[in-house]
Amino acid sequence: MTNANNAVTNTEAKTAAFLTVADIQAMNMEAISSQPVEMVAAHELFGFSTELKGVGLLPVFTDSHPLVPKINNDHVFSESLVRRILLSMKGGDSSILLVGDKGTGKSSLVTQMHARLTKPMIGITGSNGIDDTHLLGCKTIKGGDVKEVDGVLSYAYRKGLTCLIDELCTLRPGVLVGINDILQGDGVINLKHHGIDPSLDPRALLDVNGGMTIVKHPMFRLFATDNTGGKQQRDARFSGTNAQNSAVRSRMTSFTVPFMAPEQEMAALQGSANAYANAKKLTAMDTMHTRQLVEFAFRFRKSFSMEEACDNISFREIQRWAHKWMMYGDLDESFVDAVYNNLEETDRVLALEHFESVFARKLILPEEHAFSVGDVADKFIKANIATNKAA
Ligand SMILES: Nc1ncnc2c1ncn2[C@@H]1O[C@H](COP(=O)(O)OP(=O)(O)O)[C@@H](O)[C@H]1O
Ligand SMILES: [Mg+2]
């Protein structure tokens, strides 16, 4: 503390042009220690009944911050995953990758952990069009002057936010290689791709004030989510993703996010259905129906694991089904719009079987699915012939 304070006091006399890496580090530490915090037992923060081994107390910032996500009280956390992620953060891991099937709750695990930890974060969703300028910034012209701007990642690195990159492996592989220094947790990075002022003395090249050097804020973390973990894919479900350089992957700590256990999924679904019913003033779904939706999902997932289905059913889909069931007041129509329509043809046949097993009756398809064009045409032509004959 004293050292940090001294360093800051010392820096006060300096103009921005003379700040060193150590000055910025001291200023960051000072900014952190001046924020009001409360120490809370980790397991209480996440609603677990027993202590999280090795985690202990965590600082919770008591001042509000607009970049801290809103708490979803119905979020169901996996104790083991939360514990290991917290310990990895505490241990200083800078970049954490969450890998799992669609809708297993990767993005919401990150946002809900940050909501409980009161840690501010910003996010960006990966795509083929994202490049280093979106992540690390560039030089631009504003009002006739050349100006340096940050990308979402360099800004988070500088300011001590978490940066969440969703769908990481949709990025072109070279883009990730370009942020290797951040991925591996370097404390200082240089944005040389912004261009170098030729009048600059090489001795001053790495000065903080040169605009090219950024000092890592101790609260910075990079989180990323992906379905593939950056490994090679032949599966059409993952079209749009790229295999990533293995040196990139090796710089990140990876966690697998699985589907929730059935009881957890029921609790999450019931919580989400209740919140939706409340917000929309609908009759809440009873637990028997929640159980049936989760059973449908697990029957389908079992088929997928046995390679009978081409795709999986995610929590996102059964959540949408639950919401629509309450909104439509109709089990069958809500199922078709929330789940069935998005399935591949062969998976639709399987879905009909599983629906029948769970609800002990056949699905009643709405009219757009109930009749084939052939049936409609035959009926119409027959009626026309009869009309013509009668005329
Ligand atoms: N453990 C959970 N508890 C409560 N809701 C969850 C949980 N996991 C996922 N959800 C909900 O399911 C939906 C999909 O989750 P999301 O995090 O977007 O999945 P992913 O990023 O893995 O595709 C969101 O509406 C989210 O709130
Ligand atoms: Mg996601």
Question: CA 219 to CA 24: how far, in whole Å?
Answer: 13
Secondary structure of 61-72 in HEC code, one letter for each residue: ECCCCCCCCCCC
SS3 295: helix
DSSP β-bridge partners for residue 224: 97, 165
Which letter does DSSP use for residue 90 in this model? H
Q: Are residues 198 and 328 in the same domain?
A: no
Pocket perturbation via mutation, ligand 1, pick of 74, 110, 315 by most ligand atoms within 8 A of CB: 315
109 pLDDT band, cuts 50/70/90, is very high
What is the Cα–Cα distance from 383 to 391, expressed in whole angstroms?
12
Window from 101-105, 162-166, 352-356 with minimum mean pLDDT: 101-105
pTM: 0.87
Largest pairwise CA distance in the chain: 104
Alpha-carbon distance 339 to 159, whole Å?
Answer: 42
Name the more confident of 202 and 268: 268
Question: Could you give the C-alpha distances from 92 to 187, 211, 270, in angstroms and in order?
Answer: 11, 26, 36
Q: Which ligand is nearest to the CA of 315?
A: 1
Ligand 1: residues within 6 Å at CB? Answer: 74-76, 100, 102-108, 225, 260, 268, 315-316, 319
- Position 195 pLDDT exceeds 50: yes
DSSP label of 106: H
User: Which pLDDT does position 230 carry in this prediction?
Assistant: 59
CA of 377 from ligand 2 middle (Å) equals: 44
Q: Please tell me whether residues 252 and 293 are part of one structural domain.
A: no
> Do residues 112 and 249 share a domain?
yes
Cα 172-176-178 angle, rounded to 5 deg: 115
- The arithmetic mean of pLDDT across residues 82-106, rounded, is 93
The chain-wide mean pLDDT, for the chain, equals 88
CATH of the domain at 150: 3.40.50.300
Candidate from 113, 255, 316, 319 with most ligand 1 atoms within 8 A of CB, to mutate? 316
Q: How confident is the model at residue 21 (pLDDT cuts 50, 70, 90)?
A: confident
Q: What phi and psi, each to the nearest 5 degrees, are found at residue 388?
A: -60, -40
Out of 83-92, 113-122, 169-178, 242-251, pick the least confident: 242-251
- For residue 211, tell me if it sits in a domain: yes
Q: Is residue 315 within 8 Å of 260, Cβ to Cβ?
A: yes
Question: Containing domain of residue 108, as a range?
Answer: 35-256
Question: Is 26 a domain residue?
Answer: no
Closest atom of ligand 1 to CA, residue 166 = 21
314 & 240 share domain: no
Instruction: Indicate if 40 and 99 belong to the same structural domain.
Output: yes
Percent of the chain past pLDDT 90, that is, above it, reads 58
Distance 224 CA to ligand 2 centre (A): 9
Backbone angles phi, psi at 41, to 5 degrees: -65, 130
Which ligand has the minimum distance to the alpha carbon of residue 105? Answer: 1
Structural domains in the chain (count): 2
